[in-house]
């Protein structure tokens, strides 16, 4: 049995001896790991495809060549898509480690959240700074 809160293995039947939360079985933690792995893979692949599609739309219109603001916006948008793909890959790594061991990796989860928050912030500032001519 594994505690989902403090990540400690325990021989107890129902409650963690450290924090008192309900214990999970290794199989249930591995199912959560597969779910995290699938969600991270979906996020990485889906956002990469959207990023390529948006990049092609922008370049087909010729806006980045004519307008410096559009080129700067497209550059920032590509960085946002890359950061979200990195967050998805970190989610995949966390899910894979959870499948293998049954335990979450807090540094990977914290890194994934930090990278995703940075992407949201950069996307917000890029969209507020874009004024087409």
pLDDT score of 39 more than 90: yes
pLDDT of residue 27: 82
What is the predicted pLDDT for the residue at 48?
96
Band of residue 64 on the pLDDT scale cut at 50, 70, 90: confident
Q: Comparing 7 with 73, which gets the higher pLDDT?
A: 73
Quote the pLDDT of residue 90. Answer: 96
Please state the separation of Cα 12 from the chain's center in Å. 33
7-40 core/surface letters (b: 16 or more CB in 10 A; e: else)? beeeeeeeebeeeeeebbeeeebbebbeebbeeb
Average pLDDT score, the chain? 86
Q: What is the structure's pLDDT at 28?
A: 83
What is the structure's pLDDT at 101?
84
Average pLDDT for 114-133: 86
Q: In this predicted structure, what is the pLDDT of residue 12?
A: 64
How many CA atoms, within 13 angstroms, populate the side-chain half-sphere of residue 105? Answer: 19
Please give the pLDDT value at position 25. 77
pTM: 0.81
Confidence band (pLDDT; 50, 70, 90) for 5? low
């Amino acid at each position: 049995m594994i505690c989902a809160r403090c990540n400690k293995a325990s021989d107890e039947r129902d409650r963690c001896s450290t924090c008192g939360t309900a214990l999970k079985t290794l199989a249930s933690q591995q199912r959560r790991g597969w779910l995290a792995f699938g969600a991270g893979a979906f996020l990485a692949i889906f956002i990469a495809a959207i990023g390529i599609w948006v990049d092609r739309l922008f370049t087909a219109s010729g806006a980045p060549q004519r307008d410096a603001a559009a080129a700067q916006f497209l550059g920032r948008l590509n960085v946002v898509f890359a950061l979200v793909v990195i967050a998805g890959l970190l989610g995949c790594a966390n899910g894979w480690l959870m499948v293998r061991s049954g335990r979450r990796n807090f540094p990977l989860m914290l890194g994934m959240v930090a990278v995703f928050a940075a992407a949201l912030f950069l996307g917000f500032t890029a969209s507020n700074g874009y004024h087409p001519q």
